[in-house]
């Protein structure tokens, strides 16, 4: 017995509609985040090499202009650092942490929704399966045991459809979420790396050392922006 996707959707019951909504939302978020990361892609090593080459010429204004011309978070981080180069470490630290937190919020935008979809859709599917099996067994009970194995099997496979659809949505959503989360974590570490490089070349100490008990940007911000 062959069924097309539309027929299977109809047999799954009313809970297929929230699953359909979740699938559309997940696809939209994945596409939007994918385009975001593509537009803001960067080559860290190339960026650092070009920035250092300018700094070696003792051209801080040129370095600031170069960072401002970049359309990615490393350029923004470098620009915030150089804009506050003459201030003390506490001011520079506060500015970079504040602006870095804003940038990380943009990077992780909508990822919590994707995570929620990945975790909720299997539960919605399980709810549909359990409720469908309750209905199936209630019908069998009403028939006073006269139902054959085929009737029982038919009710069960129909009930299992929601779980199947829930898993089909959850698996790629969870995979995409972890991929985007990994990109966000790497970006935070790269932002910390840029600050460290600039500290080295300008003889500054932007973030407190380990002995002070205050974490650096990557550690503190990733704890604050927990995925």
Q: Which pLDDT tens digit goes with each residue over 57-110?
A: 988 899 999 999 998 999 999 999 999 888 888 888 899 899 988 998 888 888
pLDDT at 10 over 90: no
**Residue 72, both tokens:** 């990615």
| Contacts for 31-38: CB closer than 8 Å, 24+ residues apart | 32/110, 33/109, 33/110, 33/111, 33/114, 33/176, 33/180, 36/107, 36/109, 37/180, 37/183
pLDDT at 215 over 70: no
Evaluate whether residue 8 is within a structural domain. no
Question: Cβ of 216: how many Cβ atoms within 10 Å?
Answer: 17
**Structural domain harbouring 87:** 30-224
pLDDT at 112 over 60: yes
Q: What is the mean pLDDT of residues 195-202?
A: 90
The predicted pLDDT at position 193 comes to: 93
The predicted pLDDT at position 74 comes to: 93
Evaluate whether residue 19 is within a structural domain. no
Between CA 106 and CA 174 the distance in angstroms is 20
Least confident of 13-22, 142-151, 180-189: 142-151
pLDDT at 199 over 70: yes
Evaluate whether residue 100 is within a structural domain. yes
Residue 137: name the closest of 155, 120, 125 by CA. Answer: 155
Classified as helix, coil or strand, 70 is: coil
Give percent of the chain with pLDDT exceeding 90. 50
Tell me how far CA of residue 177 lies from CA of 27, 35, 184, 206, in angstroms.
12, 14, 10, 32
CB 162 within 8 A of CB 129: yes
C-alpha 79, offset from chain centre: 25
CA atoms within 13 A on the CB side of 179: 10
pLDDT confidence of 136, banded at 50, 70, 90?
confident
Evaluate whether residue 185 is within a structural domain. yes
The predicted pLDDT at position 146 comes to: 60
Evaluate whether residue 6 is within a structural domain. no
User: What are the φ and ψ backbone dihedral angles of 165, each rounded to 5 degrees?
Assistant: -65, -40
pLDDT at 208 over 60: no
How many domains does the chain divide into? 1
Evaluate whether residue 158 is within a structural domain. yes
Evaluate whether residue 35 is within a structural domain. yes
The predicted pLDDT at position 130 comes to: 87
Evaluate whether residue 109 is within a structural domain. yes
């Amino acid at each position: 017995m062959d069924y097309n996707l539309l027929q299977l959707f109809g047999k799954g019951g009313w809970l297929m509609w929230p699953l359909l909504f979740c699938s559309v939302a997940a696809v939209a978020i994945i596409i939007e985040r994918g385009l975001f990361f593509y537009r803001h892609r960067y080559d860290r090593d190339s960026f650092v090499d070009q920035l250092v080459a300018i700094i070696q010429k003792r051209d801080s204004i040129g370095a600031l202009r170069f960072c401002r011309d970049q359309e990615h978070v490393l350029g923004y981080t470098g620009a915030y650092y150089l804009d506050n180069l003459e201030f003390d470490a506490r001011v520079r630290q506060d500015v970079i942490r504040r602006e870095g937190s804003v940038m990380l919020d943009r990077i992780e935008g909508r990822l919590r929704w994707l995570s929620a979809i990945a975790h909720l859709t299997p539960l919605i599917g399980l709810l549909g399966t359990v409720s469908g099996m309750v209905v199936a067994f209630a019908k069998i009970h009403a028939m006073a045991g006269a139902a054959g194995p085929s009737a029982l099997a038919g009710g069960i496979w129909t009930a299992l459809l929601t779980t199947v659809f829930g898993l089909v949505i959850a698996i790629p959503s969870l995979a995409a979420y972890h991929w985007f989360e990994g990109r966000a974590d790497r970006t935070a570490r790269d932002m910390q790396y840029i600050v460290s490089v600039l500290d080295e070349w300008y003889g500054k100490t932007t973030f407190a050392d380990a002995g002070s008990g205050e974490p650096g940007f990557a550690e503190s911000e990733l704890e604050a922006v927990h995925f």
